[in-house]
Amino acid sequence: MRRLGSKRRRHQRSVDAGFIGGNEVELLRGGDQLFPRMLAAIRHAGSEIWLATYIFHHDETSLALADALIAADRRGVRVRIVVDGFGSSASIPTLSERFAGSGVALAVFRPMDRWWRWLQPGQLRRLHQKLCVVDGDIAFVGGINVIDDRRDIHHGITELPRLDFAVQLRGGLVDLVAQSVRSIWSRAWLGREFDDALLDYVPLRRRFGLWLTQLWRGPQRLAEPPLRLPPISAAFVLRDNLRRRRTIEHAYADAIREARASVDMVCPYFYPGQRIRHALRRAADRGVRVRLLLQGKLDYRLAGWAAEALYADLLGHGVEIYEYTPAFLHAKVAVIDGQWATVGSSNIDPLSLLVNLEANVVVQDAGFAAQLAGEIEAAIGASSRVGEHGGTGLRAMLHRAVVAWFAYVFLRVAGAAGRY
C-alpha cells in the first residue's frame, strides 16, 4: 500500500506542476470569435507583437490580419511572425510580398522552398503551435490556424465552419507564452541567416549582427495598468524536442488516471500511445464515463483509418466513441471531472505527442470547464455514436498490426525515441 500511495503522489505532483494562479482565461470558439479579438489587440498594440502558427493562409481573413500587423509596424510596434515551412508553403510567397518594405520580420520554421530541404534531418518535426502575444499583456493559445473557418486548404469552401477552439489569456501565464514564441521565432530567424550565408557567402558575423538588431529593435514596452483577475489556475504546457518531449502526453495520461467521474476528449487525429490508451481503458473499467469525439468528416482518410484500428478495443472497455459529421473537426480539447480542462494544438497521435512542436493551456477551474463541457456536449449531440465494432476477426487484427507498423516506421524516421 505504501508503494501505491507513493505512485499516486508522483502522479498528483506531475498534474499540478507548472500551474499559476490569478489568470484570466476566456474560451473562444473558432476564428469567428478569435480573429476579432486578435485584431483588436493588434490595433491597440503599443510595443510588440509575436505570432507563431502552422498555417498563415492568404485568404481574405488572413490578409486582413496581415494588414493589421503592417499597420502596427508603421506606428512603431515591433512585429515578429514565425510560420511553418510546410503548413504555410503555399502562402509564404504572398506573405513575403505583402510584408516587403515593412519592418515586419517573417521567419519560416524549417522552410521547404528547395528540393534538398526534404533530405535534411528533422524535416518531419514541424511547428504546429498557434500562439500570439501582444505587448506582453494578452496572449492567444489554441488550435486555430490563421485561415478562414470555412476554408479548407485541400477541400475548398465549406458550408459550416470547422469546429475549433482557442483561449485568450491575461496574467502570469502570458510571460511563459511570450518566452516560447520568442524562442521559436529566434530559432527560425537564426536558421534563415545560416541558410542565406551558405547560399551567397555573406559573412556570418555581419548576418548575426543584423539578426541581433532585428530581434531587439523597437520601442520599450509600455506600462500597463494593473488587472483585477479572477483566481483561475492554469498551466502552459509545451512539447518540444529538448527537455519537454512528453509533457503533453503525461499531462493527459496523469489527468485521466486521476479521473473519478468523467473524461471527455475531442481530437481529430487520434492514435494514442500505450500510456494514454491504458489510462482510458482503466478509467472506463472503474466506472468513469469516457467519451471520445473524433472526426466523422475526414480530411485525411489515413488518419481516420488509424483511429478506427483502436475502436474495438476501446469500445470493449465501455468507452463511448462519437464521430463529428456536421463539419470538419479540428479542435483539440478535453474536460475531466468538470474541473480539469485543456485547449491547445496537440492531437493525440504520434505526430503531435512525439514529433511536432505543440502548445496547450491546461486550466483547473470549474467555471471554465463547464463552459468547454457545454461546447463538447453540443458537439456530441450533433454527432453519430459508433456502435458495436466488428474488431475481433483476422481482418481487424491485420488492420491494427498494419497501423502499428506504420506508426513505428514513422517514429523511427522522425527520430523519436522510446516506446509509444
Q: Could you give the residue numbers annotated as active site?
A: 128, 130, 135, 330, 332, 337
**For residues 68 and 132, is the Cβ–Cβ distance under 8 A?**
no
What integer pLDDT is reported at residue 271 of this predicted model? Answer: 92
Does residue 221 fall inside a structural domain?
no
Radius of gyration of the chain (CA): 22
DSSP-assigned states of every residue in 282-296: HHHHTT-EEEEEEES
Phi first, then psi, for residue 311 (nearest 5°) are -55, -50
Whether 17 and 365 have beta carbons less than 8 Å apart is answered as: no
Structural domain ending residue among the three candidates 168, 187, 216: 216
CB atoms within 10 A of CB 353: 27
Instruction: Give the Cα separation of 308 and 293 in Å (integer).
Output: 13
Same domain, 119 and 246: no
Q: What is the pLDDT of residues 59-108, one digit of tens each?
A: 999 999 999 999 999 999 999 999 999 999 999 999 999 999 999 999 99
Report d(CA 208, CA 212) in Å as an integer.
6
Would you state the pLDDT for residue 375?
98
Residue 390 and residue 285 share a domain: yes
**Is 267 in the same domain as 332?**
yes
* Polymer length in residues for the chain: 420
Decide: residue 20, CB within 10 A, 0-12 exposed, 13-18 middle, 19+ buried.
middle
147 and 94 together in one domain: yes
- Residue at a domain's end among 166, 189, 216: 216
Q: How many domains does the chain have?
A: 2
Check whether residue 168 and residue 44 sit in a common domain: yes
Question: Which residues, in sequence order, are bridge partners of residue 23?
Answer: 232
Cβ within 8 Å of residue 417, ≥6 positions away: none
**Cell 491546461 sits on residue:** 362
Shared domain for 156 and 64, answered yes or no, is yes
Q: Say yes or no: 166 and 264 in one domain.
A: no
Within-domain flag for 93:
yes
Q: Which of 189, 216, 243 is the last residue of a domain?
A: 216
Residues 100 and 67 in one domain: yes
* Residues 203 and 58 placed together within one structural domain of the fold: yes
Q: Which three cell numbers stand for residue 225?
A: 495598468
Q: Let me know if residue 396 belongs to a domain.
A: yes
Domain extent for 176: 23-216
222 part of a folded domain = no
Concatenated DSSP letters of 149-166: TTEETTTEE-SSPPB-EE
Q: Is residue 13 in some structural domain?
A: no
**Is residue 230 included in any domain, yes or no?**
no
Is there a domain that residue 14 lies in?
no
Q: Are residues 274 and 359 in the same domain?
A: yes
Establish if 95 belongs to a structural domain: yes
Neighbours of 13 (CB within 10 A): 10
Going by DSSP bridges, is the β-strand pair 340-344/358-364 parallel, antiparallel, or unpaired? antiparallel
State the pLDDT at residue 194.
44
- Name beta bridge partners: 237: 360
- State the cell numbers at 235: 498551466
**pLDDT reported for residue 389:** 63
pLDDT in tens, the chain (420 residues): 333 343 433 344 344 458 999 999 999 999 999 999 999 999 999 999 999 999 999 999 999 999 999 999 999 999 999 999 999 999 999 999 999 999 999 999 999 888 777 777 778 889 999 999 999 999 999 999 999 999 998 889 999 999 999 999 999 999 999 999 999 999 999 876 444 433 333 333 333 443 443 444 443 343 344 445 567 999 999 998 778 889 999 999 999 999 999 999 999 999 999 999 999 999 999 999 999 999 998 877 777 788 888 999 999 999 999 999 999 999 999 999 999 999 999 999 988 998 999 999 999 999 999 999 999 999 999 999 998 665 566 766 777 677 667 766 766 766 776 778
pLDDT of residue 410: 67
The beta strands (E) that lie in 94-248 are given as 105-109, 131-134, 138-142, 151-152, 156-157, 165-170, 232-239
| pLDDT at site 397 | 72
Asked if 342 and 361 touch (Cβ cutoff 8 Å), the reply is yes
Contact 231, 25 (CB under 8 A): no
CATH of the domain at 128: 3.30.870.10
Tell me: do 242 and 372 sit in the same domain: yes
Residue 345: per-residue pLDDT: 98
- Considering the domain architecture, whether residues 212 and 264 belong to the same structural domain is answered as no
